[in-house]
């Protein structure tokens, strides 16, 4: 069977890591017809829009997309394409498995946790305004509907993947209403899954515990902003942003992208590690029931990383993006 999948190369290191991953998927033998689409600043140059309607339609039609990172200007300029896409397609769950890859040196070994981040609201609602000069207001939106469905997602994921515990992360001691509602929904949903343990941590304490005892965590359930921050922290536990994949999931659509951004500091140098996007692509293959190819890619990746001869610079090696991708393809 040939799968038609939307491909968003993105910008910065995006085109380099996506073409590396596309070449590895080709070597794995999975039949994919890619539908490439621009987004962000590149799309503006060509279409006048950062998130062209044709791109959104392509994903709605194909139900699956592989996405490179897209730059968002800081403090001014257009709003985030990434946030816009998640909202447009109601990709309410951001799933980020964090675990030690074989052969990758990291501050910790034995980390195996999953971040489940609410993806559509919180301070990422983008509702900001100037009240009077010198005073701005940013609205944190938390709804019962979104909090309940992300909690169900976390517990269903725990059940399906035989995970033992869901930990809700919050700051409800200060934000009693907003984080309070998130927590109340998590508690209510937890009662429906008696086979999965449930506990809670205040976000600051959770960060401290994550960098001391990461092996104690299993599934983390977080509102959008904490989820974004804690994801990068967790990536740092297992070797950095180059080695953590992710998925944005809605009711019937999946957009698979790495946790990292467009890395302007190394863009255009053929130096980025494509492993993070490759891990996202492996999640994508499992999502479309191509488990055999997913297993073979993981084996090939583990083989290359363990042999250690071909490593990208973020992992202490000297290999380029393409050399690394070629090594994984050859191992396949």
Paired tokens of 124: 């990422």
CB-based contact 99:215 (threshold 8 Å) = no
Would you say 276 or 300 has its CB closer to ligand NAI? 276
Q: Which of residues 76-95 bind ligand NAI (CB under 6 A)?
A: 82
Residue 32 CB-half CA count within 13 A: 26
| Site track for ligand NAI across 261-300, x = CB under 6 A | xxxxxx-----xx--x------------------------
Paired tokens of 304: 């290359």
Binding residue for ligand NAI, selected from 149, 314, 329, 332, defined by CB under 6 A? 314
Measured distance CA(33)–CA(262) in Å, rounded: 25
CB-based contact 18:9 (threshold 8 Å) = yes
Q: List, as one string, the DSSP characters of 188-210.
A: HHHTT-TTSEEEEEEHHHHHHHH
| Site track for ligand NAI across 31-70, x = CB under 6 A | --------------------------------------xx
Would you say 178 or 262 has its CB closer to ligand NAI? 262
Measured distance CA(147)–CA(181) in Å, rounded: 8
Binding residue for ligand NAI, selected from 84, 97, 242, 254, defined by CB under 6 A? 242
Paired tokens of 35: 């539908």
Binding residue for ligand NAI, selected from 6, 28, 71, 178, defined by CB under 6 A? 71
Indicate whether 260 belongs to the interface with ligand NAI (CB under 6 A).
Answer: yes
Measured distance CA(313)–CA(67) in Å, rounded: 23
Sequence-distant (6+) residues with CB within 8 A of 275 are 101, 242, 243, 301, 305, 312, 324
Binding residue for ligand NAI, selected from 64, 241, 285, 304, defined by CB under 6 A? 241
Q: Tell me the residue nearest to ligand NAI as measured from the CB.
A: 261
Paired tokens of 175: 């934000």
Binding residue for ligand NAI, selected from 58, 72, 119, 329, defined by CB under 6 A? 72
DSSP 42: H
Would you say 179 or 228 has its CB closer to ligand NAI? 228
Distance in Å, CB of 12 to ligand NAI, minimum: 6
CB-based contact 166:201 (threshold 8 Å) = no
Distance in Å, CB of 82 to ligand NAI, minimum: 4
Distance in Å, CB of 156 to ligand NAI, minimum: 24
**Stretch near ligand NAI under the rule CB under 6 A, chosen from 25-33, 150-158, 213-221, 257-265:** 257-265
Measured distance CA(37)–CA(46) in Å, rounded: 11
The position carrying tokens 């990434």 is: 82
Q: Which of residues 128-167 bind ligand NAI (CB under 6 A)?
A: none
Whose CA is closest to 293, among 18, 16, 29, 11? 29
Distance in Å, CB of 125 to ligand NAI, minimum: 17
Distance in Å, CB of 164 to ligand NAI, minimum: 30
Distance in Å, CB of 247 to ligand NAI, minimum: 12
The residues binding ligand NAI (CB under 6 A) are 13, 17, 69-72, 82, 241-242, 257, 260-266, 272-273, 276, 314
């Amino acid at each position: 069977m040939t799968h038609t999948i939307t491909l968003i190369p993105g910008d910065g290191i995006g085109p380099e890591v996506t073409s590396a991953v596309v070449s590895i998927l080709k070597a794995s033998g999975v039949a994919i017809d890619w539908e490439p689409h621009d987004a962000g600043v590149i799309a503006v140059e060509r279409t006048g829009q950062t998130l062209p309607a044709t791109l959104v339609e392509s994903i709605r039609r194909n139900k699956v997309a592989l996405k490179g990172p897209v730059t968002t200007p800081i403090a001014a300029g257009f709003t985030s394409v990434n946030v816009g896409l998640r909202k447009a397609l109601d990709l309410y769950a951001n799933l980020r498995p964090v675990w030690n890859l074989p052969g990758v040196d990291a501050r910790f070994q034995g980390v195996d946790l999953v971040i489940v981040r609410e993806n559509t609201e919180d301070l990422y609602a983008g509702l900001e305004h100037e009240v009077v000069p010198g005073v701005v207001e940013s609205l944190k939106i938390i709804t019962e509907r979104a909090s309940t469905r992300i909690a169900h997602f976390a517990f269903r994921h725990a059940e399906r993947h035989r995970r033992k515990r869901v930990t809700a992360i919050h700051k409800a001691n200060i934000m009693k209403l907003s984080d309070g509602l998130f927590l109340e929904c998590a508690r209510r949903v937890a009662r429906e899954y008696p086979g999965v343990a449930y506990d809670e941590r205040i976000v600051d304490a959770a960060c401290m515990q994550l960098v001391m005892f990461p092996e104690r965590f299993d599934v983390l359930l977080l509102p959008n902003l904490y989820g974004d921050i804690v994801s990068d922290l967790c990536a740092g536990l297992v070797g950095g942003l180059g080695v953590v994949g992710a998925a944005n999931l809605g009711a019937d659509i999946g957009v698979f992208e790495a946790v990292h951004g467009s890395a302007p500091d190394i863009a255009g140098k053929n130096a980025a590690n494509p492993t993070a996007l490759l891990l996202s692509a492996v999640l994508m293959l499992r999502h479309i029931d191509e488990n055999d190819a997913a297993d073979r890619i993981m084996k090939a990746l583990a083989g290359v990383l363990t042999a250690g001869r071909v490593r990208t610079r973020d992992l202490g090696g000297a290999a380029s993006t393409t050399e690394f991708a070629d090594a994984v393809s050859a191992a396949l």
